[in-house]
Amino acid sequence: MSEPEIHTLSVNDTRAPKPRRGNIIQRLLRRAQRFMISKRKLSTRNLDRLCREFASDKRTLVVHSEDVDHAPYFPNAYTVTKRPDVPADMHVDLYYRDLSRIESDSYEVVLCTGLLEHVPDPQRLVDELRRIVKPGGKVVLSASAVFSFHECPDNFFHFTPYGMKLLLTDFSQIEMVRGASQPFETIGILLQRILLQCDIFPPVRPLIEAMAWTMRLFDYTVIRQYDTRHMRDERTLTDSMLPSNIQAAAVK
Q: What is the pLDDT of residue 35?
A: 75
- The pLDDT tens digits of the residues spanning 52-103 come to 999 999 999 999 999 999 999 999 999 999 999 999 999 999 999 999 999 9
**Confidence grade of residue 1 (pLDDT, cut at 50, 70, 90):** very low
- The pLDDT tens digits of the residues spanning 176-188 come to 999 999 999 999 9
Domain extents in the chain = 44-182+240-251
DSSP string, 77-116: EEEEES-TTS--SEE--TT-GGGGGSPTT-EEEEEEES-G
44-182+240-251: CATH topology is Rossmann fold (3.40.50)
**Confidence grade of residue 8 (pLDDT, cut at 50, 70, 90):** very low
Which letter does DSSP use for residue 3 in this model? P
Q: What is the pLDDT of residue 219?
A: 98
Report whether 158 contacts 246 (CB < 8 A): no
How far apart are alpha carbons 200 and 115 in whole angstroms?
A: 29
Span of 134-143, 165-174, 216-225, 229-238 with lowest mean pLDDT: 229-238
Mean pLDDT within 21-49: 80
Q: What is the pLDDT of residue 15?
A: 54
**Confidence grade of residue 27 (pLDDT, cut at 50, 70, 90):** confident
Is pLDDT of 126 > 90? yes
**Confidence grade of residue 30 (pLDDT, cut at 50, 70, 90):** confident
Select the more confidently predicted residue: 17 or 62. Answer: 62
Angle separating helix axes 183-197 and 205-214, nearest 10 degrees: 150
Query: What is the side-by-side strand order in the sheet with 60-64?
Result: 90-91, 77-81, 60-64, 107-113, 133-144, 245-251, 173-179
How far apart are alpha carbons 180 and 176 in whole angstroms?
A: 12
How far apart are alpha carbons 155 and 144 in whole angstroms?
A: 10
Q: What is the pLDDT of residue 10?
A: 47
Q: What is the pLDDT of residue 26?
A: 75
